[in-house]
Amino acid sequence: MPARILDGKLIRDQILSELTAVVATLADRGKRPGLVAVLVGEDPASRIYVRNKILACEKIGLFSETLRPPAETTTEELLAIVAELNGRDDVDGILVQLPLPPQIDAGRVLTAIAPAKDVDGFHPASMGALATGRPGLVPCTPAGMIEILKRSEIPIEGRRAVVLGRSNIVGKPVALLLLGENATVTVCHSRSRDLPAIAREADILVAALGRPAMVTDDYIKPGATVLDVGINRISDASEAERIFGMRPKKLERFREKGSLLIGDVDPVAAEEVAGAYTPVPGGVGPLTIAMLMSNTVRAAKLRRG
C-alpha cells in the first residue's frame, strides 16, 4: 500500500485561514501586526522569496513593507536600518533576506535584530529560549514540520525520532522541538557512523542533509513518517534515470524541462517503504512562509500584550 502523502499546501492554507481571523481581531483593537522585509541588492531568487512573503502578508491582512537598500550597502549602513526598525512601534517582525552581499557581515546584522522582532528565529536569544523551553520565536521550517505532524495526527510523544543534519536553521531546532514534544531524539551528521542503521530506528525521520535522494529504502523503517526538508535541483540525465527509473512520467517531465526539484529522500523509497511522507515540492516548503506569518502575529501578541 503506498505511503500517505502529507500535503503541506493544505496545511499551509489551514494556518493562513486561522491567522486571517486573528489578524482581523488584532486590527479591530488597533494592534495590526506589521512585518518589514529588507532586501539588499537585486538577487533574483531573493526577490521572488520576498515577494511571496509580502503576498502572504497581504493575504492575511498584515501590514507589510519592503526596504531595498542597494547592493553596495555596507555592514554599518544595514545595521543603522535594523536599528531604526527595532525602534519602530508599528513593526513587529524584521526579516533580513539572506544571502547578503559578501561585504556585509551577516552574523552582526542578524544578531542586531531585536529578539522580540526576530521572526526568522535565528537570533542566539531565540535559539536559547528554544533550548531552555521558554516562550519565543522559533525558526520557521522546523516549526512547520511540527505543525505537519500535529495536524496530520501523527503521534510524537514517546516516538523515536532521527534527524539527519545538524544545521542551526533546521537540524538543531527541529531536534529541540521534537524533544519538547517528548520524542526520543538522535541527531546525525556527515561524521556519524552507519547512518542507514541509525535512521532505520526512527518512527519519525527528518532528512535535512542537502543531498538529492540520499535517503534510500535502507534508511527507512517500514511504516515510518518521513519529513523531507531537502530542495535540490537535478539537471544531470543519468542522475534522473537513477532516481526516476521506475517513474516514466517524472522522467518525461525531466526531459521536457531539463531539470527537476527533488528532496533528500528517494521518492520511490518514501512511497513504497514509509507510512507517511512529505513530497518535494509541496511538503515542508509551503509551511515556511506560513510559519513566518505565524511568528509575526505571535511577535505582535508578545510585544503588545
Could you list the active site residues? 53, 97, 120
> Which stretch of DSSP H or E encloses residue 181?
none
In Å, how far are 6, 56, 125, 159 from 59, measured between CA atoms? 23, 5, 30, 36
Q: Alpha-carbon dihedral of residues 202, 206, 211, 212, nearest 10 degrees?
A: 90
Amino acid, res. 125: A
Residue 161: how many CB atoms within 10 A of its CB?
A: 26
C-alpha cell at 96: 533580513
SS3 17: helix
Q: How far apart are CA 146 and CA 144, in angstroms?
A: 5
Residue 155, amino acid? P
